[in-house]
Structures are given as C-alpha cells and as structure tokens.
Amino acid sequence: MSETNQALTAEQAYQEDNDSALGFLKPQFHEEKFPTVQIWGYIGSLVLTFAAYLLVMNHVLPPVALLSVILTLAVIQAGLQLGVFMHLKEGRGLAWQLIPLYLVFLIAIGMVGMSIWIMLFKSGVS
C-alpha cells in the first residue's frame, strides 16, 4: 500500500513518530531476582554523603569551589534517588511526568542559582 512517493496517512505518521522519536517513552519496567539496584543506590548515596562531609570538614578547597563540588555531589545523589528509587523512567505516559519535571528543574535551578549568584557580590561577609 504505502509507496515511497505516496503521502503518509495520519495513522502511519503517528506510528512512525511513536516508534522512532518517542520510543524512549515506551513503558519499561525492571524485574530483578534480587534488589541489586536498590542496594547499589543506597551504597552510592552513603558514599556521596560522606565524601561531601569529609571534603568540607578537611577544607580541601577554597569556599566557593568547595560549595560547587558538594552541590555537584548533591545533584548526582538526587539523580541516583530519582533513577533508582523513584523509578523515573518507569510508568505510563512518561512524557506527562518528565516534561513538567524538566521544566520545574529549570525554574528551580534558575531561582536558586541566581539567588546564590547575586549574593556572591557581597563576598565581604563570606
């Protein structure tokens, strides 16, 4: 039926778009014999937490660099929680939860980041 020079039907276009561009939204659920992922997630969280603690307590870097490093560790740990424990990539209608989440991360990072940034100009107190 569908020749190369023939226009796609709406149904075919819908199918093709879903398969190629939106394939990553297909529900995928992990089934394991043993909660290995959860255990690694927990160990990873503990390691990141204590790494940040030791970095700060030993003052290994100048303040602004140190804050940047521990905030990066926190973001990694948040990603770990989202991916491992909140099953972020599992679910039906993933686009409905992923897109607002990306959007709110953008707003939150902008709001907090700009607040931190503007306060850096009063570096006389820190």
Rounded to a whole number of angstroms, the minimum distance from the CB of residue 18 to another protein is 18
The residue whose two tokens read 């939204």 is: 25
- Three-class SS of residue 73? helix
Question: Dihedrals φ, ψ of 50, to 5°?
Answer: -75, -30
Rounded to a whole number of angstroms, the minimum distance from the CB of residue 71 to another protein is 6
What length is written for the chain? 126
Chain centroid to CA 97: how far?
13
Q: Which of 18, 20, 92, 121 binds another protein (CB under 8 A)?
A: 92
End-to-end CA distance of the chain: 71
State the residues that interact with another protein by CB under 8 A: 27-29, 31-32, 35, 38, 41-42, 45-46, 49, 52-53, 56-57, 59, 63, 66-67, 70-71, 73-74, 77-78, 81-82, 84-87, 90-93, 96-97, 100-101, 103-105, 107-108, 111-112, 114-116, 118-119, 122, 125-126
